[in-house]
Structure 1
Amino acid sequence: MLSAFLTNFKTIELKDVEIPEPSDGEVVIKVQSALTCGTDLKMYLRGHPKFNFPMLFGHECSGIIYKVGHGVKNFKEGDEVMFANSASCGECYYCKRGDENLCVNLFESIFFGAYSEFAKVPARIVGKNMFHKPKNLSFTQSAFLEPTSCVMNGIRNLNVRDGDFVLIIGDGAIGLIFALAIKKLLNVNLIVAGKHAERLAVAKKFGADFILNSSENEFEEKLNEITFGIGPNAIIECTGKPEVWEKSVELVSKGGEVILFGGCPAGTKVNFDATRIHYDQITIKGIFHFTSKDVKKAYNFLSDNSTELIELVSRKYRLNQIQEAFERLAVRDGIKYEINP
């Protein structure tokens, strides 16, 4: 079978390798759809702090079960499935507190290898975060389970009231999934800010009440007008840029909340005004990954709302075109790409 390996920065090689054999509790799937992700792009551009070259990559996918390992009870060969890319151990301090996304053993069960003809799914994922694909979902729609799970974690941690103003900064895939989910699940006034007219148009299509070009000089003035001079009650930062982290704390209303979703490179330092945080009672939350409950919520959400998300798939490539796909993705041409074997 063919699998895509990151062998160096900005270098992807297709290798002909053996179809993996599932161990106890594992399954091997025949990949039907794989989607690019911001994490994949970061790995392509700068590697991964926990993994060395050469490495499999890609983690948003769906497929058909090709082979099951001993002890797998809920799935069989031929089943169409969708899954998230990790599952917690259930035994560590954080898991027992209910903070599964902070599991100290999370990377023991991480899934990479979506950009392959076949892929092996770890037992923990099979047991906790794999689902039968609903008949009304395509494989492409099903592959959105992982990013939607992350978004559900963000929304679960969002403390807003009916009628509040929520600002999403960043018009990439995650920002747009947030936009769709927030308008479907919450009764708030949603503002989406970004720098790409075509992406902001998608945000509007997803139900955003206001869209703003964050690169315009009048951006803050327009935001102030929309929020009646108060500022957004909550800001969801989806760019992973330190200057946007800092600006978010400046822009949020008194008593407001800043959700820091976009990840910055390790070692990044940011500066916040301590007086502003203290006297204006600003809450700052980092958001990472998901719990099994978030995955289940995402699964239910996609079952009813996945049609719109196809808007985020800008291009489709075959597996043997993956280097070209990431070269194009690196210059921010489009939102997400689908890579098919």
Structure 2
Amino acid sequence: MKRIVYYGIQDIRLEEAEIPTPGPGEVVVKNKVTLTCGTDCKMFMRGYRYQPPHLIGHEASGDVVAVGEGVTNFKIGDRVVAHNTAPCHKCYWCKKGQHSMCTDLPSNLGAYGEYQLIPKNIVNETMFKLPDDMEYKQAALTEPLSCAVYGISNVTIELGDTVVVNGCGPIGLMFIRLAYLRGARVIACDRQENRLALAAKLGAAETINIDEKDQIQAVRDLTEDSRGVDVAIEAAGLPQVWEIAFRQVRAGGQVLCFGGTKKDTTVNIDCTRMHYEQITIKGVFHTTPQHVNAAFELLKMGAIQAEDFVEHEYKIEDTEAAIREHAAGKVIKNCIVYDD
């Protein structure tokens, strides 16, 4: 089979490998589609926390082609989507109910490949059969949407609140949609007009091109007496945007920092304002099985549509071009399609 292996910054290679054989509780999926992700882009352009070489890709859906001993909830031929992790339920953080912080998080990295081995924990907890009317591209959005669902569950949004989302990449756009569905008035900030247009389609009441306006003052001016927004969401992965979000929020407001930054970066926060204005800053990473399930249900309901997020199709041989185009902000997401 063909698969992509990550060897370092701007170095991914197409290699041949044996089709995996499932062990007890495991499943092998023949991928039909894999979506590009912002994490793939960051990994490719600047590196990530895993030591190369390693497999890459984690947003895929396909067909079950082999099942291991003891698997009863899936069979050969099932159309499925598998999340990329599932917690161990044994470590300290799992026992505290903080499943995104699990220290033994089995992963199925390797979605940029014709076949993929799905670990037992994921098969049991975060893998789903597709309804007959769900397309593979729609199902493959489960992983990123689950992260946005988890993120937005960590802030309190009341009906009629004003929420700003800084960064209108795929996750930011999903935050916009979820905040809108919660009854918020949403402001979207980005420099790409194609992304701002989609933000408006997904529910943003106001859009701000940050190359044309001051990102902080423009947002504050859209609130009464320029007091600031109730919730500011950072979805860009840049420390300066973390600081911008803090300066957009009102006294008593909440800041959600979701975008992962480069290692060893820091931010400057006005401690006096944070203390006396009682501002809450929350960092959130990854997701949990509860929110993966919620995301899959939202996709079945059509809360977001693949046609809005997935733009161009590539073959596995052209994975680098697909990632580069995504990283340049020219598209929301690209799709690797595997031949039958």
TM-score scaled to structure 2, two decimals?
0.96
**Alignment correspondent of 1:340:** 337
> How far apart are the structure 2 equivalents of 1:135 and 1:113?
26
User: 1:310-321 to 2 correspondence within 5 Å?
Assistant: 310-321=307-318
Alpha-carbon offset, residue 144 of structure 1: 0.3
> Structure 1 287/212 Cα, relative in aligned 2: closer, same or farther at 3 Å?
same
CA contact (8 A) 2:164 2:219 kept: no
- Structure 1 stretch displaced more, 7-16 or 150-159: 7-16
**Alignment correspondent of 1:154:** 151
CA contact (8 A) 2:150 2:287 kept: yes
Which string of whole-angstrom CA distances, capped at 9 and with x for unpartnered residues, describes residues 162-218 of structure 1?
Answer: 11100000011100111122222x011111111111110001111111111122234
Letter in 1 for 2:193: A
Letter in 1 for 2:9: F
Unaligned residue ranges in structure 2 (runs of 5+): none
- Structure 1 stretch displaced more, 136-145 or 330-339: 330-339
> How far apart are the structure 2 equivalents of 1:101 and 1:259?
16
- Structure 1 stretch displaced more, 290-299 or 5-14: 5-14
**Alignment correspondent of 1:69:** 68
Letter in 2 for 1:93: Y
Alpha-carbon offset, residue 222 of structure 1: 3.1
Letter in 2 for 1:16: E
- Structure 1 stretch displaced more, 271-280 or 12-21: 12-21
Q: Are residues 1:198 and 2:194 paired?
A: yes
> How far apart are the structure 1 equivalents of 2:92 and 2:304?
39
> How far apart are the structure 1 equivalents of 2:329 and 2:169?
9
Alpha-carbon offset, residue 133 of structure 1: 0.8
> How far apart are the structure 2 equivalents of 1:284 and 1:238?
14
Letter in 2 for 1:192: A
Q: 1:167 aligns with which of 164, 168, 181?
A: 164
Letter in 1 for 2:27: V
**Alignment correspondent of 2:31:** 31
Alpha-carbon offset, residue 336 of structure 1: 0.8
Alpha-carbon offset, residue 332 of structure 1: 2.6
**Alignment correspondent of 2:85:** 86
Alpha-carbon offset, residue 310 of structure 1: 2.2
> How far apart are the structure 2 equivalents of 1:72 and 1:88?
18
**Alignment correspondent of 2:2:** 2
**Alignment correspondent of 1:299:** 296
**Alignment correspondent of 1:98:** 97
Q: 1:242 aligns with which of 216, 219, 239?
A: 239
**Alignment correspondent of 1:17:** 17
Unaligned residue ranges in structure 1 (runs of 5+): none
Which string of whole-angstrom CA distances, capped at 9 and with x for unpartnered residues, describes residues 1-54 of structure 1?
Answer: 11111223212211111100111111000001100001111111233322322x
Alpha-carbon offset, residue 110 of structure 1: 1.0
Letter in 1 for 2:229: P
**Alignment correspondent of 2:320:** 323
CA contact (8 A) 1:164 1:189 kept: yes
Helix, strand or coil: the match of 2:208?
Answer: strand
CA contact (8 A) 2:165 2:172 kept: yes
> How far apart are the structure 2 equivalents of 1:332 and 1:167?
20
User: 1:245-264 to 2 correspondence within 5 Å?
Assistant: 245-264=242-261
**Alignment correspondent of 2:120:** 123
Which string of whole-angstrom CA distances, capped at 9 and with x for unpartnered residues, describes residues 74-102 of structure 1?
Answer: 00110000121000000111111111111
Q: Are residues 1:43 and 2:40 paired?
A: no
CA contact (8 A) 2:216 2:247 kept: no
Letter in 2 for 1:206: L
> How far apart are the structure 1 equivalents of 2:308 and 2:31?
21
How many corresponding residue pairs? 337
Alpha-carbon offset, residue 290 of structure 1: 0.9
